[in-house]
């Protein structure tokens, strides 16, 4: 499973002119399920994200987690994180989970996130989304979890 985490001061997802998910201070998470991923892999990813210390403490060090600062989490499905660009100029997405499996893993991830964190918003799996964000820092961190 791959993710791109961005610390944001605000972020929202718009579909056909309608905002479907929105947070203030927190993390925007672009999430990609890959072939062979399981719920356990998703759980490890969620554990990492909720505890990732990317928010400043009173000393100005990145030492606080999303849970510590009670920030929002905006989860957006993003199969293009599985892009293989090693040859040619057209990315291959063969390592991304098939759509049905990707949706199942995404839905499970979101359900678990909502059980563990009070402010979770989402985009819509497979939709053509416009993601608006103000990256705070900027802080952008790629994450990969393999196996569980």
Catalytically annotated residues: 78-80
Q: Is the overall model pTM greater than 0.95, yes or no?
A: yes
Q: Find out whether 102 and 96 touch, Cβ atoms under 8 Å.
A: yes
Give the start-to-end residue ranges of the domains of the chain: 2-144
Spans of the chain, pLDDT less than 70:
148
Instruction: Identify the pLDDT of residue 148.
Output: 65
Instruction: Identify the pLDDT of residue 147.
Output: 77
Instruction: Identify the pLDDT of residue 127.
Output: 97
Q: Please report the DSSP string for 63-132 in residue order.
A: EE-HHHHT-EEEEEE-GGGG-B-SSSSS-B-TTBPPHHHHHHHHHHHHHHHHHH-S-EEE--TTS--EEE
CATH 3.30.590.20 fits 2-144, yes or no: no
Instruction: Identify the pLDDT of residue 2.
Output: 98
Q: Find out whether 1 and 147 touch, Cβ atoms under 8 Å.
A: no
């Amino acid at each position: 499973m791959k993710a791109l985490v961005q610390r944001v001061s605000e972020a929202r997802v718009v579909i056909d002119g309608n905002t479907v998910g929105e947070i203030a201070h927190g993390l925007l998470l672009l999430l990609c399920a890959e072939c062979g991923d399981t719920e356990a892999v998703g759980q490890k990813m969620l554990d990492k994200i909720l505890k990732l210390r990317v928010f400043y403490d009173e000393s100005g060090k990145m030492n606080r987690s999303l849970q510590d600062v009670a920030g929002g989490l905006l989860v957006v499905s993003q199969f293009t994180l599985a892009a293989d660009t090693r040859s040619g100029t057209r990315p291959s997405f063969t390592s991304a989970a098939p759509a049905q499996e990707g949706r199942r893993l995404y839905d499970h991830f979101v359900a678990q996130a909502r059980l563990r964190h009070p402010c979770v918003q989402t985009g819509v799996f497979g939709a053509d989304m416009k993601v608006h964000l103000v990256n705070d820092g900027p802080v952008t961190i790629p994450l990969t979890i393999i196996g569980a």
